[in-house]
Structure 1
Amino acid sequence: MTVEHMKWWGWGREGVGFHFEDKPAFAPFVEHAVGLDLHSAPAVATPDFADIDVPASQAPDALLGELRGAIGEEHVVVDDLDRVVHTYGKSIRDLIRVRAGILPRIPDVVAYPGDEDDVTRIVQVASAANAVLIPFGGGSNIAGSLEPTATETRPIISVDMGRMRLLVDIDEPAQIARIQAGALGPDLEAQLNAKGWTLGHFPDSFTHSTLGGWVATRSSGMQSDKYGDIAEMTRGLRVVRPDGTLVIRPMPNASTGPSVREMVLGSEGRLGIITEVSVQVHRVPEERVIHAYFFPRWNVALGAMQAIAASDAAPSITRVSDARETAFSMSTSKVRTGTSRILAEEVLPRIMKSKGWDLEDICMSFIGYEGSPAHVRRQRAAVEKIVKAYGGMGVGTGPGVLYDQKKFDTPYLRDFLLDRGAVADVSETVAPWSRLLELYDATVAAANAAYDEIGQPGWIMCHLSHSYHSGACLYFTFAWVAGGDEIAEYETVKASIQQSFVDHGGAISHHHGVGFEHAPWLEQDISAEGVAVMRGLFASSDPQRILNPGAIVAD
């Protein structure tokens, strides 16, 4: 098998993890934030898969025989480890359950198609056998989009798209690339870069998520200010369904009734299995640079980001952390020496204090620029004029280089904390500029009230990213030391945050999808009629209920 998976019990590759020994400020930060002394809280041992009681496969021999005949025996797997890997995504709820061996229902078989014909045969076999199909990309989802319904009695087939990862073709005049849906971010970019192109889509999960998964959950990347999110990039689609293949030809735009393309975007496997996506690509920019800036306070920083979004400037990244996340980011720095230590620990704080800034309130921002050298200079000048008008200050590219290097490593921190008895996860939303500060304040207060309810000190921090003319995404990270029932505590904190989103003008998710995790708030977000329309769509397009049933809306 040529498909590599993340570790069954956590994020990323075996042997890779977060370490704090070379980060002198990190342990004090964690003790201040959640009361956990890392020096006296040794990590638990890596979970042993042999200790997990894995439910036996319920796949009938006849179904397995049909699948093997359809795609080859070596591509039909009933191994316990493979089936567990394909049971959950990587939310904290998922990690808690899989480590504890809580597996009420897992896939009975994993099928690895090599091309669209294989997918078609798998879907036909499943339809004839009334078996459930759950598409699987990289397994990075944190919204419960991969989880089988616990009460499902029919055979469950996880369709792993990992063998389908090729760049098929590039229409260079149209700048549209056809790419198989199982391509992971690094594979996709490597193939495009070799021909001088880039998709420009870099979500935090980039190294372990796929193009098909991005489409299925309406993903956004950290450079979406320039390139758009996956919905804007997607021009055409091929989706295998029980009665045939849905084909959306790649067009710049079209007026052909309600958009079927839009229906597939964010559908989380409920309308079929995405096999190929035609996406808008761009030439690799001549220059790419990320500059760091500081602002004296969070509300000032939000005002600057809004002004940049409303201006003629077109940066590729606009991101700013609140004071809590700024403190966290600084705590992950390695030991500095020489000039870099003097600048960071002496000169910069002295300059900030001379401006009257309280160092407990400062907010760090990263703004990226791409294009020709002349374009980058113009964009930077336009942005920095706004930064100056809002009292901000630039500190060069050094922090931006470090951010660029470690931007995909943050999820490893969640495993590190869970190993030591601390629970951490994320929730993100999007709202108009007019509601952002209210939403932020209310969500921080809601999380702190939830920590009081569970009787544990906790931490919540936030950054703004993905700016639009009308608003922006707020991405919250929250953590606490578990006091007993980790999942019950998580549900209390998570629910308080999600309810705050809808109560204060935000969406229940900006780019992680709905799955099972966010479904309880869907009606408040899109109205009862919106849910009815969605449920009707799924029921009419999949009367057998074999396409990831239960995800997004309950059947």
Structure 2
Amino acid sequence: MTDLKAKAGATDAGIDVKHMKWWGWGVEGVAFHHEDKPAFAPFVKKVVGVDLHGDAVAVAPSFDDLDIPASRLQAPVLAALSMIVGEGHVVLDDMSRVVHTYGKSIRDLIRIRNGVFPRVPDAVVYPATESEVAKIVATALEHDLVLIPFGGGSNIVGALEPQPHEERTVVSLDMGRLDRVLDIDEDSGLAVIQAGAQGPDMEEQLNAKGWTMGHFPDSFTHSTLGGWVATRSSGMQSDKFGDIADMTRGLRMVRPDGVVVIRAVPSASTGPSLREMIIGSEGRLGIITEVTVQVHRIPEKREILAYLFPSWEAGLKAMQAIAESDATPSVTRVSNEFETEMSFATSKESKGASALVMKGLQRFLKAKGWNLEKMCLSFIGYEGTDEHVDRNEKLVSKIVKKHGGMGVGKGPGVLYDQKKFDTPYLRDFFLDHGGAADVSETAAPWSKLLPLYREVYASANRAFDKIGVKGLVMAHLSHSYHSGACLYFTFAFEHGEAPLEQYDVVKKAIQDAFIVSGGTVSHHHGVGVEHSPWLADDVSVPGLALMQGLLDSADAGANFNPGKITGK
């Protein structure tokens, strides 16, 4: 992996807004490679049968070879939008419209690479102020347009794509110019931030004043605050800071009848929570323009330590015990044995003293009776004053030892911290070599986690057998709560000539397993169109009807990102 910090995202001509490359994750010039990771190719060959030593079997197509549907934008609408944002901020070129058509799921990437574009936005519009957003909304209602808000384009549940048979003009409303931290209330620890701010730019502005939001999802480098709120995002440090719903104290959202203003108060008893209705609404209720979030002083000390457990079951029990204890770590994560093997396989070859230490550790663990094939890797993070961090490390260390685990120091944690945002590049690399890989995540009570985990594996393996492939499922626990935790599954297989049909079989098997085992349809990726088939099972049929009634009432003309969440 090359240095991500040295790269900048692509921008539309004349518009200073960063975008990912049109055909995959991240930016041009950055990619996963395995030549310096000698264990990786043998691991992939063993678990899914894909040979990485040959030439790539699929590569990104030439953009010039794609057949992109022409824009349907009519001259009166173009004139009206240009009057609002300026002529240079209404973009109609094919590349920009393709960038704003899909997110970055495996379904999205496969369709892009195969030139499948049943419907693309007819224009991309870049407002610079809330006032401009309000005028665009008014224009959309006047001309019966479809508005789809766009942040960083990292969504993986189909929340960005136009409905395939949409006959109306579709406008992608790119919020990238609204990217500033507007104010910090230092007494209250509240920051007012525009919704289009991408993670790194927002943190840079906060850090310059001595603050951090502490929200770091996997998509951090290419996603926005508005997108986090719209999809109910969680970050890697949610154990300490909470998820985006916990951090969001106030917000502003443009609707046809004006701007909904949720004031940033600590708590309120004012009927059904409008704030909660908007968080996770995926653009169905209006356009989020500004968010007031809880921020924190940059901690005096920050560490992520690595631990090993003799089994997945021991790791789960330890995470539960930590959640129930007086310890307050920022990260609690443990991988199962398959993801642990994957983590070691993606490491560079150890040499010299490092190799000797690793061999010595393996001999020590074998002497203790560990089965190294069942070993599970864990990362636990700590933030705060020196005293706070030291106290928490000691509390966690006792719990880890009680459950048969052991600490292995800072080195692996430092590497994890450096590479935590690089993982999505693996999906493109695997796709290049004929493999399909994607993720599904859920949350469930502690009592149901292990049965759910086992059901997912049984269901996924039946699906692999059904489509006739050798597949792999990996898992880790993250985002611990007092009552339960998130389980995050990665699944991969060597695809055939119908990869999307194969993917649907496996994805359905895993999502079905979530529901029958008492988990939620999604913990932090949202619903979009990908997860909507399971929503009634998750929230009940009357619950879904209540949700649909809210959306119908709030958006009677279906102008705001129709088809997402409920499928209507």
Which residue does the alignment assign to 1:316? 330
Q: Which residue of 2 aligns with 1:433?
A: 446
Which one-letter code corresponds to 1:30 in the other structure? V
Alignment of 1:44-55 (within 5 A): 44-55=58-69
Q: Is the 8 A contact 2:190 2:292 kept in 1?
A: yes
Q: Deviations over 1:268-326 (max 9, x none)?
A: 00010000000000000000000000000001110000000000100000000000000
Residue 410 of structure 2 corresponds to residue 397 of structure 1:
yes
Q: Deviations over 1:327-366 (max 9, x none)?
A: 000000012211111112x111111111100000000000
1:330 aligned residue: 344
Alpha-carbon offset, residue 42 of structure 1: 2.6
Counterpart check, 1:488 vs 2:501: yes
The offset of 1:43, in angstroms, is: 4.9
Find the partner of 1:136 among 136, 150, 153.
150
Cα displacement (A) at 1:40:
2.2
Aligned-pair distance for 1:243? 1.4
* AA in 2 matched with 1:180: Q
Residue type of the alignment partner of 1:93: R
Contact persistence 2:92–2:123 (CA under 8 A): yes
| Preserved contact between residue 527 and residue 564 of structure 2 (Cα < 8 Å) | yes
- Return the alpha-carbon distance in structure 2 between the equivalents of residues 262 and 241 of structure 1: 16
1:522 alignment partner in structure 2 = 535
Alpha-carbon offset, residue 473 of structure 1? 0.2
Partner of 2:74: 60
Question: Post-superposition, which runs of at least 4 consecutive aligned residues in structure 1 deviate over 4 A?
Answer: none
Name the CA distance, whole Å, in 1 between partners of 2:355 and 2:133: 56
Map residues 455-466 of structure 1 onto 2, 5 A cutoff: 455-466=468-479
Q: Distance in 1 between matches of 2:546 and 2:86?
A: 39
Q: Distance in 2 between matches of 1:424 and 1:415?
A: 9
User: Residue in 2 aligned with 1:554?
Assistant: 567
| 1:440 positional shift | 0.3
* Separation in 2, partners of 1:379, 1:258: 38
For residues 397-439 of structure 1, the C-alpha deviation after alignment (integer angstroms, 9 at most, x for no partner) is 0000000000000000000000111000000000000000000
Q: Specify the alignment match of 1:410 in structure 2.
A: 423
Contact kept in structure 1, 2:60 and 2:113, CA below 8 Å: no
Q: Kindly, what percent of the aligned residue pairs are identical?
A: 63
Matches within 5 A, 1:49-448: 49-344=63-358, 346-448=359-461
Counterpart of 1:10 in structure 2 is 24
Deviation at 1:252, TM superposition (A): 0.5
CA–CA separation in structure 1 for the residues paired with 2:525 and 2:40: 28
Amino acid at match of 1:482: H
Contact 2:472/2:492 (<8 A) preserved: yes
One-letter amino acid matched to 1:489: Q
* CA displacement 1:64-92 (0-9 Å, x = unmatched): 11000011000000110100110010000
Partner AA of 2:219 in structure 1? S
State the alpha-carbon separation in 2 of the partners of residues 462 and 41 from structure 1. 29
Indicate the SS of the match to 1:158.
strand
Following superposition, the deviation at residue 143 of structure 1 comes to 0.6
What letter is aligned with 1:98? Answer: I
Superposition deviation, residue 45 in structure 1? 3.5
- Distance in 2 (CA, whole Å) between partners of 1:355 and 1:153 is 67
What is the alpha-carbon distance in structure 1 between the residues aligned to residue 473 and residue 194 of structure 2?
Answer: 38
How far has the Cα of 1:261 moved from its partner? 0.1
User: Could you say what secondary structure the match of 2:493 adopts?
Assistant: strand
CA distance in 2 between partners of 1:490 and 1:461 (Å)? 16
SS in 2 for 1:418: helix
SS in 1 for 2:18: coil
Distance (Å, rounded) in 2 between the aligned partners of 1:295 and 1:51: 51
Aligned to 1:540: 553
Equivalent of 1:31 in 36, 45, 54: 45
Give the SS at the match of 1:327. Answer: helix
* Preserved CA contact (<8 Å) 2:333 2:476: yes
Summarize deviations over 1:227-276 as a string: whole Å, max 9, x none: 00000000001001111111001010000000000000000000100000
1:479 corresponding residue in structure 2: 492
Task: Measure the CA separation in 2 of the matches of 1:188 and 1:358.
Answer: 45
Question: Does the CA-based 8 Å contact 2:151-2:196 persist in structure 1?
Answer: yes
- Measure, in 1, the Cα distance between the counterparts of 2:534 and 2:483: 23
SS at match of 2:124: strand
Quote the Cα distance in structure 2 between the aligned partners of 1:324 and 1:148: 37
Rounded to whole Å, the distance in 1 between the matches of 2:27 and 2:175 is 19
Q: Which amino acid aligns with 2:339?
A: E
Deviating more after overlay: 39-48 vs 157-166:
39-48
Deviations 1:436-481 (A, max 9, x none): 0000011011111100000010000000000000000000000000
- 3-state SS in 2 of match to 1:245: strand
- Rounded to whole Å, the distance in 1 between the matches of 2:222 and 2:457 is 30
Cα distance, 1:41 vs structure 2: 4.2
Residue 10 of structure 2 corresponds to which residue in structure 1?
none
Letter in 1 for 2:178: M
SS at match of 1:178: strand
In structure 2, the gaps of 5 or more residues are 1-14
Cα displacement (A) at 1:47? 1.8
Q: How many residues align?
A: 554
Whether the 8 Å contact between 2:215 and 2:238 is mirrored in structure 1 is yes
Question: What's the secondary structure of 1:360's corresponding residue?
Answer: helix
* CA distance 1:34–1:136, change in 2 (3 Å): same
- Say if 1:369 and 1:376, in contact at 8 Å, map to a contact too: yes
For the pair 1:20 / 2:28, whether they are aligned, the reply is no
- How far did 1:554 drift? 2.3
Q: Deviation per CA, 1:73-118, whole angstroms, max 9, x where unpaired?
A: 0000011010011001000000000111101111000000111111
Partner of 2:544 in structure 1?
531
Q: What's the secondary structure of 2:491's corresponding residue? A: strand
CA offset at residue 33 of structure 1? 0.9
Query: Aligned partners of 2:349 and 2:479: how far apart in 1?
Result: 31
Structure 1 contact 71–121 (Cα < 8 Å) conserved: no
What is the rounded CA distance, in whole Å, between the counterparts of 2:233 and 2:564 in structure 1? Answer: 17
Q: 1:504: how far off?
A: 0.2
Aligned-pair CA distance for 1:483: 1.7
Where does structure 1 lack aligned partners over 5 or more consecutive residues?
none
For residue 156 of structure 1, report the CA deviation from its aligned partner: 0.4
Name the CA distance, whole Å, in 2 between partners of 1:256 and 1:42: 58
d(CA) in 2 for partners of 1:10, 1:212: 22
Q: What's the RMSD between the two structures over aligned residues?
A: 0.7
Q: For 1:463-520, what per-residue CA distance to the aligned partner results, in whole angstroms no more than 9, with x for missing partners?
A: 0000000000000000000122000000000000000000001000000000000000
Q: Aligned equivalents of 1:290 and 1:172: distance in 2? A: 28
